[in-house]
Amino acid sequence: MDFESYYEIAPTADFIRSRSFTRVALQFPDELLKDSVRVVRALRDELQSLEYDTEGNGGDREVRFFVMADTTYGSCCVDEVGASHASAECVIHYGHTCLSPTSTLPAFFVFGKASINISRCADNISNYAWTNGKPIVVLFGLEYAHAMQDIKEALVVESSRLCGSRSRLELYCAEVMCSDMNPSGDDKTSNGHLGPVESCAADEGCGVATGARYSIGGLVWNLPAGHRLEEYILFWIGSDNSAFANVVLTFNGCDIVRYDATEKCLVTDLSQQRRILKRRYYLVEKAKDANIIGILVGTLGVAGYLRMIRLMKELIVGAGKKAYTLVMGKPNPAKLANFPECDVFIYVSCAQTALLDSKEFLAPVITPFEAMLAFNRGSEWTGAYMMEFRDLITSSLVEVKKQSGEARFSFLQGGYIEDVDLQEDVEKDEGGALALAYATERALQVRDKFPNFLIKGTAKSGAEFFATRSYQGLDMHSNNTLPEPYLIGRTGKASGYEDEKGKQENV
Amino acid sequence: MVKFTADELRRIMDYKHNIRNMSVIAHVDHGKSTLTDSLVAAAGIIAQEVAGDVRMTDTRADEAERGITIKSTGISLYYEMTDASLKSFKGERNGNEYLINLIDSPGHVDFSSEVTAALRITDGALVVVDCVEGVCVQTETVLRQALGERIRPVLTVNKMDRCFLELQVDGEEAYQTFQRVIENANVIMATYEDPLLGDVQVYPEKGTVAFSAGLHGWAFTLTNFAKMYASKFGVDESKMMERLWGENYFDPATKKWTSKNTGSPTCKRGFVQFCYEPIKQIISTCMNDQKDKLWPMLQKLGVTMKSDEKDLMGKPLMKRVMQTWLPASTALLEMMIFHLPSPSTAQKYRVENLYEGPLDDMYANAIRNCDPEGPLMLYVSKMIPASDKGRFFAFGRVFSGKVSTGLKVRIMGPNFVPGEKKDLYVKSVQRTVIWMGKKQETVEDVPCGNTVALVGLDQFITKNATLTNEKEVDAHPIRAMKFSVSPVVRVAVQCKVASDLPKLVEGLKRLAKSDPMVVCTIEESGEHIIAGAGELHLEICLKDLQEDFMGGAEIVKSDPVVSFRETVLEKSCRTVMSKSPNKHNRLYMEARPLEEGLAEAIDDGRIGPRDDPKARSKILSEEFGWDKDLAKKIWCFGPETTGPNMVVDMCKGVQYLNEIKDSVVAGFQWASKEGAVCEENMRGICFEVCDVVLHADAIHRGGGQVIPTARRVIYASQLTAKPRLMEPVYLVEIQAPEQALGGIYSVLNMKRGHVFEEMQRPGTPLYNIKAYLPVVESFGFSGTLRAQTSGQAFPQCVFDHWEMMSSDPLEPGTQAATIVADVRKRKGLKEQITPLSEFEDKL
């Protein structure tokens, strides 16, 4: 595939020109960074040639490009903060994306074009669908969006060939929501070159479906009224990436089959993905036992993230727990372990980077949806799963329910346990002027009669956690006021200090 | 059966001196329930309205099927003593009517938590021992438990009918057997010297031992016979009783009592002469249908039979005759009333065991005096599932005051700490209920000394709790119960239909509430786990879960899963080092096994994080040969800060070391919970911090750098110290006749078990075998054993210890490696153990 079409140079230039942007940020993921210079050059050439075509229209205007890489958060989201540093007016995003709505800048997405054998793909899908006899919905990775029109046609042909006149194969294809985006977060206004086409039901012609509308990760599709998605087989064209994991988790009640375009085969065994769901369930149960919760800000771009963070705080405080908000870029075990007082972290980010599950983390990292399950007494795990927090805000789960008095059952400890009583704090806050006095009073309580104990109680707040640490900072009680004797420090590099050289040779 | 209205029953409940709360305890299959049934048949209280309904002990279907008791059941009995029999009673009483609240408890070890709960709310215990099998392991266990709770025991030597019909032993031999049984029981009781409880040993000549045949419904104490003969010999009743036991011989020829066998053929032991022989004679006459001989004999004994009963033949006739002559209920109930304490007597000395607070406050005094006017002190010992699904009765005993319908009570849970608000609720009692047979009757109030069921508190009581009046804010709770078995056998459950998950979750919560011994947890992989004391216990739990708590929704259970422990065989072969993520910090560590017995000492709490460091270092240096200074350098225990592993600081002169201590401890807690081999808990490993290199800037040696590093270096040192798995091992006790021994040995061999004790019970053909059996192999063990020995051997398994498996889990193909692979697969881990190179760094 030639470079110009892979990077959609012409439509991009069109987009920039039509909106007359002069400062444009180009956001590349790590694996495409090597092409960035060529892309900039190609874009500049293209824009210049466009200028010549429509001469006279302010020819002195120069478009400046800024290449952004190594984003602070997931590379699938638009890095608006990074773009703002360069005072860019829009962002052109390359590569895999989650198509999360932006909050301040317009964005144009270039998905890239992965190669796919269309006939082989259509063949596989229709054969599978035929043997199963269930209606199907075709979803795909955005890198295959370019081929979807062809695949759809091929499928219609293929299915009519297979079914003959006996029965019809019901087939629905998802559409890409849009390829450019305006910060309003309103996904219906934009109309890119792949913009919504009416959903196409095979054989029935193009009747406008009025049923339920589904959307996930930038894909949208409609199903006729009265049908549930569970009745369909979901086909996923693409690789086993986070977008797919998102689909599997969100539609965990459906049969899902993946067509791997590089291997050219169907993958029906999804036990690994199912296992993820159960694992998430475990994390929710674990989160219920948490006292201190860290809210990790995993995005500064996705629309509504501030609202989500506020919501999370309210939820946590409502559950009588303590929340701390942390901004640390991409979380990794070493960063999170700097906050050993947090029992669980909530990662507020776009749907496709939200699932962080590694045994390396000291404390589990859960999504806002899971946090709602965990900290809302009365809500229970039904199997339904939501990744995108836009859906979450609108869902009924949000309202903080009144707590029932019954002790909570902890599956981690295998018994009923008592949660921290939050009423106590509420009462004290009412004291107003006395609140400070109460606080100091509590601060001065004797916490531990025997500081030599090797265990400490579980802390309810960060301050309490620090109070129970064995190391409290510099020891000021030292009676020795004489200056310490002069000592020779270590020399050399961190990979092996001079005094360690000898050891190394011995090994 | 006695027909009562609720009001009549309620009236007797006020006479605190005339109440006996007692439990029936014994080894499995020694005849508790049969004996209880015969008592219930005679004296059980049923409601007036359901008089037509004869079935009293409405057992669960599965209980009947298996022939064992699973849940303890409480039954109230009513007995009216005659003035004559009460004349020697010296205690306080209030009329002749007695109310006996009896709790029949299961004998199988798997259900011993039920026994614990029953003992807490009773004051006396009827210990049932099979006259042939004698005192068995479970008899001993429950007896110890009872005495620990200051429960006064009386003994009944049961299954007397076996002596007469099955074994046909002669009088002297039978006496020797009985004597030995009683002695064995007394040996156990004597170890519990308790000045307040007094002498708890049992003596036939004092009337604290009965001889019973539960199956045939007859029993006697020496009192019965003493009464009979006292007038004949013209001696005092108590004098006569003494003669009927021990070294007292009577020669009918000379009509003289001697303290030695004179050697004359007619000279026999008093017991044999006057108790055993007459019974034997009657039984044999009945069995041989010698009715012409029988009627005069009965007439002499003052036994009158109904005319239709006279037509009976053989065994039914014998049963009928014996029941009429020596009714079990009379003998046993009189023994209980005479020798077991009333609540007001018992609470005087039990208050020390029960009450956690100061023993001179008003609550302690109220309990001590069993004061119905005092503040309410009520202990809820168990939650009984009610007929409407999902609700529970809170069942317990009122120790002082009165509990009434509508009363607002303070509920102090097991985690309640006086002065704090933790685990504390104030709620109203919706109804107070007493049982009359299987029928629940609501009563206005229940005074102290009685058992009661409360409605409307189930949401706030998890397993057990102490209730008191709303206003009694300074009351301390009643001490929580300690259970003697631990849940080691686990199964994973999931629902067949994924959408039933909420039902399963709810069901598990209820199951956990209904049975204090069951533990419902969740695995890392998201699977729900139910852990129970044994295979049988689990089976019952699963059945309850599915049928009662989940409304029949189908569940799928995995094969039983056993948890393992990870340990090390030797000291690490070298000091291992790991670098922090920023490469600026290094931790050097070594692992070594803890000294033998140290892990157990930590388990038992003899050594723990809460100890005074001086005391701890004393034990460690004296018993385990630790260096005194080293013992002071223990950083922590783990997992969960109390587990049987430790981190010890062996560094010399390292700067900033105290700064990273918390981080290393956090890493250790994490790593010791999920070992490197298959993420099971570690056990018996000591990690020595040998050296530490830290970055000079505090920011570069924070928790984020040190915690993951500590975890990695702990794994590395574990892997270099010859890691091994430990498996749980049962102590199995089997009683069987000699011919079954071959079968037992072969089954045990097949199951990797080994016998360490084999002892013949003196005077019986029975052998007592003690063996160790890995828990993994125990599934289906009792079934196989029964098949191999044609049902003659019945094993009792109790968790005993953790044993190291000799094979190397790192070497492919060994047994340990197979287990590791299984565990890793179940947990959804990579099949291969993470190699050492992932954890260890080189300079």
Measure Cα distances from A413 to A125, B519, B522, B582, B702 in Å. Answer: 47, 8, 9, 35, 30
Q: Test A409 with B509 for CB contact under 8 angstroms.
A: yes
pLDDT at B662 over 80: yes
**Helix or strand holding residue A37 (H, E):** helix A36-53
Q: Could you give the ipTM of this predicted complex? A: 0.79
Give the pLDDT confidence score for residue A452 in this predicted structure: 42
* Model pLDDT, residue A424: 46
B670 vs A contacts (CB less than 8 Å): 362
Instruction: Tell if the CB–CB gap between B708 and A360 is shorter than 8 Å.
Output: yes
Rounded distance, CA A369 to CA A388, Å? 8
A264 and A126 part of one domain: yes
Say if B511 is an interface residue toward chain A (CB within 8 Å): no
Closest approach of B63 to chain A, Cα-based (Å): 27
CB contact (8 A) between residue B843 and residue A383: no
Q: How many CB pairs under 8 A join A and B?
A: 153
- Residues B116, B117, B123, B125, CA torsion sign: negative
Across the interface, do A340 and B413 touch by the CB < 8 Å criterion?
A: no
Burial B516-536 (b: 16+ CB within 10 A, else e): bbbbbbbbbebbbbbbbbbbb
- pLDDT given for residue B386 in this prediction: 80
Q: CA A115, CA A96: separation in Å to the nearest integer?
A: 15
Distance to chain A for B612, nearest Cα, Å:
8
Is A276 inside any structural domain?
A: no
Task: Please say which residue of A110, A134, A156 terminates a domain.
Answer: A110
Q: From B198, B340, B180, B299, select the one nearest B761 (Cα to Cα).
A: B180
Q: Where are the alpha helices (DSSP H) in B395-553?
A: 501-514, 535-544
Is the confidence at residue B93, as pLDDT, over 60?
Answer: yes
The reported pTM is 0.81
3-state secondary structure A163-192: HCCCCCCCEEECEECCCEECCCCCCCCCCC
Shared domain for A127 and A50, answered yes or no, is no
Nearest to B662 among A281, A404, A470 (CB): A470
A122 lies in the same domain as A264: yes
Put simply, the answer to whether A334 touches B522 (Cβ < 8 Å) is no
How close, in Å, is residue B9 to chain A by CA atoms? Answer: 34
Domain with residue A36: its CATH number is: 3.40.50.11840
Q: How confident is the model at residue A54 (pLDDT cuts 50, 70, 90)?
A: low
Residue of A nearest to B499 (CA): A382
Chain-centre distance for alpha carbon B223? 32
Residue from the list B425, B527, B696 with its beta carbon closest to the beta carbon of A278:
B527
- Confidence check: pLDDT of A379 > 50: yes
- The reply to whether A408 falls in a domain is no
CA distance B37 to B214: 8
Task: Clarify whether residues A75 and A139 are in a common domain.
Answer: no
Q: Tell me whether residues A334 and B505 touch, CB distance under 8 A.
A: no
Residue A334: CATH number of its domain: 3.40.50.11860
Q: A415 and B525: CB-CB below 8 Å?
A: no
In a domain, A376, yes or no: yes
Q: How many whole angstroms separate alpha carbon B728 and alpha carbon B108?
A: 20
Which one of A292, A426, A449, A455 makes the best mutation probe of the B interface by having the most chain B beta carbons within 10 Å?
A455
Task: Using the 3D structure, point to which of A75, A110, A145 is the last residue of a domain.
Answer: A110
In this prediction, residues A470-486 reach a mean pLDDT of: 71
Which among B208, B158, B217, B118 has a CA at the least distance from the CA of B32? B158
Within-domain flag for A300 = yes
With cut-offs at 50, 70 and 90, classify the pLDDT of residue B723: very high
Q: Are residues A251 and A136 in the same domain?
A: yes
Taking CB atoms and an 8 Å limit, are B498 and A253 in contact across chains? yes
**Which helix (H) or strand (E) segment is A416 a member of?**
strand A415-417
State mean pLDDT over B734-748.
Answer: 86
Nearest-neighbour CA in chain A from B603: distance (Å):
16
How sure is the predictor about B64, in pLDDT bands with cuts at 50, 70 and 90? low
Instruction: For chain A, positions 125-154, list CB contacts with chain B under 8 A.
Output: none
Q: What percent of chain B has pLDDT over 70?
A: 96
Does residue B526 belong to the interface with chain A, where contact is any CB pair within 8 Å?
yes
Instruction: Answer whether B609 touches A (CB < 8 Å).
Output: yes
Q: Mark whether A187 and A246 lie in a shared domain.
A: yes
Are A222 and A138 contained in the same domain? yes
> Structurally, how many domains does chain A consist of?
4
Nearest-angstrom CA–CA distance, B490 and B517: 12
- pLDDT of B260 reads 82
In the predicted structure, residue B786 carries a pLDDT above the cut 50: yes
Residue B603 neighbours by CB under 8 Å, 6+ apart: B644
Taking contacts as CB-CB distances below 8 angstroms, the residues of chain B near A359 are 674
Q: What is the pLDDT of residue B626?
A: 87
Which of A337, A380, A413 is the closest to B708 by Cβ? Answer: A337
Q: Which of B391, B423, B525, B843 to mutate to test the interface with A (most CBs of A within 10 A)?
A: B843
Helix (H) or strand (E) holding A335: helix A333-336
Tell me the C-alpha to C-alpha distance, in Å, between residue B420 and each of B465, B467, B475: 16, 16, 12
Q: What is the pLDDT of residue A399?
A: 54
3-class SS letters over B328-353? HHHHHHHHHHHHCCCHHHHHHHHHHH
Q: Are A299 and A79 in contact (CB under 8 A)?
A: no
A275 inside domain: no
Provide the shortest C-alpha distance from residue B711 to chain A (in Å). 10
CATH code, domain with A125: 3.40.50.11850
CB-based contact B53:B156 (threshold 8 Å): no
Dump pLDDT digits (tens) for A140-197: 888 888 888 888 888 877 777 766 545 556 777 887 877 777 765 444 333 333 333 3
Residue numbers in A near B661 (CB within 8 A): 470-471
* Domain contains A281: no
Let me know if residue A274 belongs to a domain.
Answer: no
Give A448's contacts in chain B (Cβ within 8 Å). Answer: none
Q: Using the 3D structure, point to which of A52, A78, A110 is the last residue of a domain.
A: A110
A328 close contact with B: CB closer than 8 A = no
Query: Do A279 and B501 count as a contact with CB atoms less than 8 A apart?
Result: no
Q: How would you class B604 by CB atoms within 10 Å of its CB: exposed for 0-12, middle for 13-18, buried for 19 or more?
A: exposed
Q: In chain A, which residue's Cα lies nearest the Cα of B524?
A: A282
Q: pLDDT at residue A205 above 50?
A: no
Average pLDDT for B745-772: 85
DSSP characters over B737-779: EGGGHHHHHHHHHHTT-EEEEEEEPTTSSEEEEEEEEEGGGGT
Cβ distance of B519 and A415 shorter than 8 Å: yes
Q: Give the chain A residue whose CA is nearest to the CA of B425.
A: A405
Residue B778: pLDDT above 80?
Answer: yes
Edge to edge, the sheet with strand A23-27 lists A64-68, A23-27, A90-94, A107-110, A180-181
Rounded to an integer, what distance in angstroms lies between the CA atom of residue B346 and that of residue B340? 9
Angle between helix B501-514 and B535-544 (nearest 10):
120
Q: Is A76 exposed, middle or buried (0-12, 13-18, 19+ CB in 10 A)?
A: buried
- Residue A422's closest CA among A318, A343, A323? A318
Stretch A206-225: mean pLDDT: 67
Question: Does a structural domain hold residue A280?
Answer: no
CB A452 to CB B613 under 8 A? yes
Say whether residue A285 is in contact with chain B using an 8 A CB cutoff: yes
**What is the arithmetic mean of pLDDT over A352-377?**
83
- In angstroms, the Cα distances linking A130 to A133, A139, A251 are 5, 18, 22
pLDDT band with cut points at 50, 70 and 90 for residue A455: very low
Residue with tokens 């009363």: B407
Q: Which of B61-75, B521-535, B545-559, B586-600 has the weakest average pLDDT?
A: B61-75
Residues A237 and A218 both lie in one domain:
yes
CA angle B154, B158, B160 (to 5 degrees): 135
Q: Is the pLDDT of residue B36 over 90?
A: no
Q: Which of A55-69, B353-367, B434-448 is most confident?
A: B353-367
Q: Please, which residues have CB within 8 angstroms of residue B732's CB and are 6 or more apart in sequence?
A: B748, B753, B769, B770, B771, B772, B773, B778, B781, B795, B796, B797
Name residues 414-433 of chain A within 8 A of B (Cβ): 414-418, 421, 424
The pLDDT of residue B49 is 53
Question: Which of A64-78, A151-165, B298-312, B722-736 has the largest mean confidence?
Answer: B722-736
Residue of A nearest to B611 (CA): A453
Q: Are residues A62 and A99 in the same domain?
A: yes
Are A224 and A300 contained in the same domain?
A: no
Q: Is B499 on the interface with A (CB under 8 A)?
A: yes
Contact B527/A503, CB-based, under 8 Å? Answer: no
Backbone φ, ψ for residue B395 (5° rounding) = -105, 130
Host domain of residue A124: 118-268
Q: Judge: A380–B415 Cβ closer than 8 Å, yes or no.
A: no
Contact B460 A413 (CB under 8 A): no
Neighbours of B577 (CB within 10 A): 25
The C-alpha atoms of residue A2 and residue A7 are separated, in whole angstroms, by: 9
Q: Higher-confidence residue: B797 or A476?
A: B797
Residues A388 and A418 in one domain: no
Q: Residue B613 region, left (φ>0) first, then alpha (ψ -120 to 50), else beta?
A: alpha
- Residue B553 CB coordination number (10 Å): 18
Cα A266 to Cα B677: distance, rounded to the nearest angstrom: 35
- Confidence category of residue A423, pLDDT binned at 50, 70, 90: very low
Tell me, yes or no, if B703 comes closer than 8 A to chain A by beta carbon. yes
Q: Give yes or no for residue A445 having a pLDDT over 70.
A: no
Chain A contact set for B415 (CB, 8 A): 417-418
Residues B780, B534: Cα–Cα separation, whole Å: 11
- Banded model confidence at residue A207, pLDDT cuts 50, 70, 90: very low
Residue with tokens 């291969």: B832
Cβ neighbours of A317 (radius 10 Å): 15
Q: Are B397 and B121 in contact (CB under 8 A)?
A: yes
DSSP state of B594: P
For chain B, how many residues are written?
843
pLDDT category at B66 given cuts 50, 70, 90 is low
Closest-CA distance of chain A to residue B824, Å: 14
CA separation for the pair B331, B329 (Å, rounded): 6
Asked whether residue A396 falls in the same domain as residue A436, the answer is no
Interface subset of B 273-302, CB within 8 angstroms of A: none
Chain B residues with CB-CB distance to A426 below 8 A: none
